[in-house]
Structure 1
Amino acid sequence: MNVRMRQDARQIFAEALAAAQPAAAFATCLRLDGDRLVAGGRSGLDLGGLDRVYVLGIGKAAPAMARALGALVAPRALAGYLVAKAGQGEAVPGCQVVEAAHPVPDARSVAAVEGALRWLDSSVPPAAPVVVLVSGGSSALFSLPAGRLTIADKAAVTELLLRCGADIGEVNCVRKHLSAVKGGQLARRLGHRPALTLALSDVVGDRLDIIGSGPTVADASSFADAWQVLERYELTLKVPDAVRHHLEAGLAGQIPETMRSDDPILANKNAVVAGNNLAACHAAKECARRLGYRPLLVSDHITGDTAHCAAFHAVLAYDVVYAHRPVAPPVCLISGGETTVRLQGGGLGGRNMEFVLHCVRRLAACIVPAVVLSAGTDGNDGPTDAAGALADNATLARAQMLGLDPGEFLSRNDSYRFFQPLNDLVITGPTGTNVMDIRVVLIGEPVRPAAGGDPGEMP
Structure 2
Amino acid sequence: MADLRGELLDAWRAGVAAVEPARCVLEAVEVADGTVVARGSVVARPRRVVVVAFGKAAPAMARGLAEGLDGLPSTGVVVAPEATAGPWPSIVAGHPVPDAGSVLAGRRVLELAAAAGPDDLLVCCISGGGSALVEVPAEGLELGDLVATTELLLGAGAPIDELNAVRKHLSAVKGGRLAEAARRTTLLTLVLSDVVGDPLDVIASGPTVPDPTTYRDALDVVDRHGLRDRLPGRVVAHLEAGASGLLPETPKRPHPRQTIEVVGNGPRAARAAVERLRRRGITARVVETTLAGEARDVGARVAVARLEVAVGVYAGETTVTVRGDGRGGRNQEAALAAALALEGTDGIFLAAGTDGIDGPTDAAGALVDGGTIARGRAAGLDPYEHLARNDAYAFLAAAGDLVVTGPTGTNVADLWLARPPRPRIR
Fold match (TM-score > 0.5): yes
Q: What amino acid is aligned across from residue 174 of structure 2 in structure 1?
A: K
CA distance in 2, matches of 1:315, 1:424: 18
Counterpart-to-counterpart distance in 2, 1:13 and 1:98: 30
Distance in 1, Cα, partners of 2:134 & 2:184: 22
Distance, in Å, in 1 between the alignment partners of 2:38 and 2:201 is: 18
How far did residue 187 of structure 1 move? Answer: 1.2
Aligned to 1:116: 109
Matches within 5 A, 1:36-435: 36-42=35-41, 44-48=42-46, 50=47, 53-76=49-72, 78-85=74-81, 87=82, 89-93=83-87, 95-120=88-113, 124-125=116-117, 127-261=119-253, 266-316=255-305, 319-320=306-307, 326-327=308-309, 331-366=310-345, 369-435=346-412
| Greater Cα shift, 170-179 or 284-293 | 284-293
Distance 1:205 1:394 in 2: 35
Q: Distance in 2 between matches of 1:97 and 1:417?
A: 35
CA-to-partner distance for each residue in 1:123-150, whole Å, 9 max, x for gaps? x556411111110000001111101011
CA contact (8 A) 2:303 2:418 kept: no
How far apart in 1 are the matches of 2:56 and 2:170?
22
Deviations 1:31-68 (A, max 9, x none): 434333232444x42133x4x53211111111100101
Partners of 1:127 and 1:190 lie apart in 2 by: 12
CA distance in 1, matches of 2:420, 2:280: 13
Deviations along 1:227-259, one digit per CA (max 9) or x if unpaired, are 111111111121111011000110111111101
Shift of 1:315: 4.1
For the Cα contact (< 8 Å) 1:126–1:191, is it kept in 2?
A: no
The AA in structure 2 aligned to 1:109 is: S
In the superposition, the TM-score normalised over structure 2's length comes to 0.95
CA contact (8 A) 1:202 1:276 kept: yes
CA contact (8 A) 1:217 1:271 kept: no
**Mapped partners of 2:90, 2:378: distance in 1:** 47
Match of 1:323 in 2: none
C-alpha displacement of 1:153: 0.5
Q: Is the 8 A contact 1:127 1:192 kept in 2?
A: no
Question: SS at the partner of 1:421?
Answer: helix
Residue 71 of structure 1: how far off its partner (Å): 1.5
CA distance in 1, matches of 2:294, 2:424: 33
Counterpart position of 2:12: 13
Partners of 1:162 and 1:15 lie apart in 2 by 30
Aligned length: 426
Q: Please state how far the C-alpha of 1:261 moved relative to its aligned partner.
A: 1.7
The amino acid that maps onto 2:381 is: L
Q: For residues 73 and 315 of structure 2, what CA distance do their matches in structure 1 show?
A: 36
Structure 1 residue 268 displacement after superposition = 1.4
Contact 1:347 1:413 survives alignment (8 Å): yes
Q: Residue deviations 1:322-375, cap 9 Å, x none?
A: xxxx34xxx111100000110001111100010000011222232xx3221100
Do the aligned partners of residues 443 and 312 (structure 1) sit closer, same or farther apart at CA in structure 2, a change above 3 Å counting? closer
Letter paired with 1:16:
G
CA offset at residue 9 of structure 1?
Answer: 1.4
Structure 1: which 5+ runs fail to align?
321-325, 451-459
Q: Cα distance 1:365–1:267, how it changes in 2: closer, same or farther (>3 A)?
A: same
- Could you give the per-residue CA deviations for residues 88-127 of structure 1, whole angstroms, max 9, x where no partner exists? x32112x0101000001122211111233344567x5564
- Quote the residue 1:439 is aligned against: 416
Give the aligned partner of residue 35 of structure 1: 34
Paired residue secondary structure (1:134): strand
Q: Structure 1: how far apart are the matches of 2:416 and 2:384?
A: 21
Superposition deviation, residue 276 in structure 1:
0.7
- Once residues 38 and 3 of structure 2 are traced to their aligned partners in structure 1, the CA distance between those partners, rounded to angstroms, is 40
Determine helix, strand or coil for the equivalent of 2:97: coil
Q: Is the 8 A contact 1:102 1:140 kept in 2?
A: yes
CA distance in 2, matches of 1:56, 1:70: 12
- For each residue in 1:285-309, what CA deviation from the matched residue of structure 2 results, as whole angstroms up to 9, or x when unmatched? 1011122221121111010111221
Secondary structure, counterpart of 1:129 in structure 2: strand
Question: % of aligned pairs identical?
Answer: 43
SS at match of 1:384: coil
